[in-house]
Amino acid sequence: MKPALTLWKDRDPAAMRLPGIRCGTLEGLPDDPVDAVGRLAADGVQFVQVHEPVDLTDPDGASAVAVLLVVRELTSHGIAVDWTLRMADPAQWRALSHLHPPAGVFRGSTGEENDERVVTAWRGSFHIAKCGYRRGPGFLEIRDHRGGSFRRLVVQAPRSTAFQGLLDGVPVIASASTERALERYLSENLLHRAGRYLWWTPYRLRRWPLSTTIP
């Protein structure tokens, strides 16, 4: 079952208690996260709470990816997210470190102890536009700071249905043929595996930071 989301028009705890700031709860997640989160941003939503942990230990991965796509789009729009993450190995957190920092990172499928070191490192290293892209005619320019040093990649965007779907926020079920076609993006951590699914990790940059030649 997909988690519910509670929405507010302010992220300040005191302001969140005022009348009219809470925007209600969405039961379930949108099928089109790119469009849905864009509408939330246009409506003035500034803070979102995800009620269930994102469980990357789930061998299926469908629910985890559905939430991660929403968190990615919320981060893209500068909307704060209260969410938690469950991982088999929290040391692998850096591939997701461009997303708004979670409140907790838990080890294993049943572990309840929050890995405070990972949460602190994630929070301390997070900044806007940590890993994002802009889309041009036939290419993507990606700016990636997740590894601690700046990487700028320009890739010719394939016209395959799978790749275009990934950019539009649709996860792809992993298969041998799919992985071969998308091998470069997997090796660059531009794709992330969650259970049976692959999803595109960089978010669209809404405001391009300074010159394209400046890290």
Sequential pLDDT tens for the chain (215 residues): 567 899 999 999 999 999 999 999 998 888 889 999 999 999 999 999 999 899 999 999 999 999 999 999 999 999 999 999 999 999 899 999 999 999 999 998 776 789 999 999 999 999 989 999 998 888 889 999 999 889 999 988 776 777 888 888 889 999 998 888 888 899 999 999 999 999 999 999 987 655 544 44
Distances (CA, A) of 135 to 70, 85, 130, 157: 20, 29, 16, 9
Torsions phi, psi of 98, nearest 5? -85, -10
Per-residue pLDDT at 136: 84
Element (H, E) at 37: helix 33-42
What is d(CA 146, CA 150) in angstroms, rounded to the nearest whole number?
8
Say what the pLDDT of residue 1 is: 52
The pLDDT of residue 214 = 46
Residue 144 is predicted with a pLDDT of 96
- The Cβ of residue 12 has, within 10 Å, a number of other Cβ atoms equal to 12
CA dist., res. 72 & res. 107, Å (int)? 21
Q: What is the pTM of this model?
A: 0.92
Do residues 89 and 107 lie in contact, with contact meaning Cβ atoms separated by under 8 Å?
yes
Closest CA to 202 of 96, 85, 77: 96
- Supply the pLDDT for residue 155: 84
